[in-house]
């Protein structure tokens, strides 16, 4: 009988230690939640909750201008908003007619962001792809033509901007031909705007 009671006491002590360890772990987790609660507010200010294309075009154009580059066009993917047939992407200065629209109903009835794709591995986060090309040609003044250093400055500004957090593709070509090489370049950028509705 004493042996049986001794085994029960040992078992209860083990359960008690397990519960105490779980309580300590829970206390640490609660403290961490309180400590890092502000991250949710930071995420809300860093990642926009709409796909205001006019605002995105304005910001990109401003960043390019600050870098000494004139933007020729900013195109968006085809839209399926309202179930209408797909239309061609729009260029700057007149972004897609659905600027400011936040969502459309998908065939399943769930809210979806028109033109945006869900980001794999992060629930509720969408990315919208844009293609940016500079103004090029003889009509562009030399001080507004793209050089490698201007492009690098523009890329830095894009990656630090809250709307354009990822540059997915950069295509660079020198201006002129093999007989007429100039210090200017032409480029095409594909960037992703992240949205969390």
| pLDDT tens per residue, range 3-55 | 888 888 888 899 999 999 999 999 998 888 888 776 666 555 555 555 567 78
What is the model's pLDDT at position 93?
A: 43
Q: For residues 99 and 20, state if they share a domain.
A: no
pLDDT on residue 78? 77
What is the pLDDT, as a whole number, of residue 181? 66
86 and 10 within one domain: no
| 136 and 59 co-located in one domain | yes
Same domain? 126 vs 177: yes
Does the global pTM surpass 0.85?
no
Instruction: Please give the residue range of the domain that contains residue 9.
Output: 2-36
Same domain, yes or no: 94 and 171: yes
- pLDDT at residue 66, rounded to an integer: 93
The pLDDT of residue 106 is 38
142 in the same domain as 187: yes
Query: For residue 172, what are the contacts with CB-CB under 8 A and spacing of at least 6?
Result: 148, 151, 185, 186, 187
């Amino acid at each position: 009988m004493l042996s049986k009671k001794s085994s029960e006491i040992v078992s209860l002590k083990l359960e008690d230690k397990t519960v105490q360890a779980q309580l300590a772990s829970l206390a640490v987790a609660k403290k961490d939640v309180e400590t890092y609660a502000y991250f949710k507010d930071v995420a809300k200010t860093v990642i926009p909750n709409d796909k205001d294309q006019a605002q995105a075009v304005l910001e990109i154009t401003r960043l390019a201008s600050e870098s000494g580059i004139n933007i020729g066009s900013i195109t968006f993917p085809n839209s399926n908003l309202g179930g209408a047939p797909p239309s061609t992407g729009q260029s700057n200065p007149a972004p897609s007619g659905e600027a400011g629209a936040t969502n459309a109903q998908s065939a399943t009835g769930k809210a979806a962001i028109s033109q945006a794709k869900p980001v794999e591995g992060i629930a509720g986060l969408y990315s919208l792809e844009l293609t940016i090309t500079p103004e090029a040609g003889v009509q562009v003044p030399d001080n507004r033509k793209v050089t490698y250093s201007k492009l690098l400055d523009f890329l830095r500004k894009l990656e630090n901007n809250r709307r354009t957090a990822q540059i997915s593709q950069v295509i660079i070509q020198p201006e002129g031909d093999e007989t007429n090489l100039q210090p200017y370049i032409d480029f095409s950028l594909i960037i992703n705007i992240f949205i969390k509705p």
